[in-house]
Amino acid sequence: MTIASQSSREAQTASPPAAAPAAPDRTPARRRTTLTRNRWGYAYVAPFFLVFGAFSLYPFVYTAWVSLHRTSLSNIDGGTWVGLENYRNLLTSEFFWNAARNTLTIGILATVPQLCLALGLAHLLNYKLRHRTFFRTVMLMPYATSIAAATLVFSQLFGRDYGLINTALEAVGLNRIDWEGGTWSSQVAIAVIVTWRWTGYNALIYLAAMQSIPGELYEAAEIDGASRWKQFLNVTIPSLRPTILFTVVVSTIGAVQLFGEPLLFAGNGTTSGGSSGQYQTLGLLMYQQGWSNFHIGQAATTAWAMFMIILVIVGLNAVIGRLRSRADR
């Protein structure tokens, strides 16, 4: 995960309370007492903001500052001012566009099946099952598994020569696939890892939302003649709409920041994302620029570009959500 994008996420969640206390007009005496009282309030929240400022806001702004310099990891403060040159370089770099395209395709390949699967699983778990708690716990296990451990197992599964999947393909008479070598195959493999890790997590979020749907709605729909499927379409999905929007946003942010899975999938710790960069994501590219090529200024630029992409996506989602709710009224 990048310094910049992580801090940006915190900045979004943390900004409202700072703007909150707007004092309405009061008599001077009253104002003094509220000020005194507020001073204690500020004192209590101060530790958070100090830590937030030191470890989130400052690095966030500093990353922007660094992105305007040509500088290396060993000499961060001693770079030369280049203005927006790093940004110009980034936008004309084929590596950036390759990484952006890979991030997009892997993102779609991972997010769409992930959320659909999660919805289906949540629906199944919402039925009265034996050992329901057990199944719900199992759902969270991939999420609790270390990404390194998971990816190790998966790169064995997707191995070309001794991989379990290729063995299975051969057994049914199909050709072996060089999962790591191909563009689509490597991206599919990485999407499978991401999907495996996050489906249960999203399913639990959907399940929690489903449990707050009143049972009478389903009974009413049943009497109205709706089949199970129609009930799912006409009662469950509309009731889950805000939750679905939330998971789409969170998964999209996760997809833009995708780093660990492609790094570990390569198997040798290189950040090139395959021999021809066929699965190099933006996260990998940034790491490569900063920590392999020591162009920390360029890396900071990529970090900011990723942050912008997330801002645009989240903003688009908010606009769509607002338009929909306005149309609803």
Partner 1 sequence: MATVTFDQATRIYPKAERPAVDALDLEIADGEFLVLVGPSGCGKSTSLRMLAGLEEVDAGSVLIGDRDVTDRPPKDRDIAMVFQNYALYPHMTVGENMGFALKLAGVDKAERARRVAEAAKILDLSEYLDRRPKALSGGQRQRVAMGRAIVRSPQVFLMDEPLSNLDAKLRVQTRTQIAALVKRLGTTTVYVTHDQVEAMTMGDRVAVLKDGVLQQCDTPGELYDRPANVFVAGFIGSPAMNLVTGQAVEGGVRVGGAVLPVPREQLARAAAGNGQVTVGFRPEAMHLVGPGQGLPVLVNVVEQLGSDAFLYTKLADEETDDVLHPSDVVVRTEPRSAAAAGQKLWLGVREGALHVFDASTQQRVD
Residues that bind partner 1 (CB under 8 A): 214, 216-217, 219-226, 230, 234-235, 238-239, 241, 328-329
If the CB atoms of residues 75 and 325 are measured against partner 1, the closer one turns out to be 325
Report, in Å, the least distance between residue 328 CB and partner 1.
7
- Report how far residue 324's alpha carbon sits from residue 299's, in angstroms, rounded to the nearest whole number: 38
Minimum CB–partner distance for residue 215 and partner 1 (Å): 9
Smallest distance, partner 1 to C-beta of residue 221, A: 8
Smallest distance from partner 1 to CB 210, Å: 15
CB closer to partner 1 out of 8 and 231? 231
Buried b (16+ CB within 10 A) or exposed e, 217-241: ebeebeeeebeeeebbeebbeeebe
Closest by CA position to 255, among listed 191, 199, 181, 302: 191
- Can you tell me whether residue 68 is helix, strand or coil? coil
Nearer to partner 1, 231 or 301 (CB): 231
- State which amino acid sits at residue 328: D
Nearer to partner 1, 89 or 126 (CB): 126
Q: How far apart are CA 194 and CA 94, in angstroms?
A: 26
DSSP string of 306-322, one letter each residue? HHHHHHHHHHHHHHHHH
The residue whose two tokens read 């949540």 is: 122
- The DSSP element (H or E) to which 237 belongs, if any, is helix 237-256
Q: How far is the CB of 125 from partner 1 (least distance, A)?
A: 21
Tell me if 239 sits within 8 A of 213, measured CB to CB: yes
CB nearer to partner 1: give 189 or 235.
235
- Taking the least distance from each CB to partner 1, the nearer of 157 and 245 is 245
Minimum distance between the CB of residue 69 and partner 1, rounded to whole angstroms?
Answer: 52
User: Which two tokens mark 61?
Assistant: 């702004």
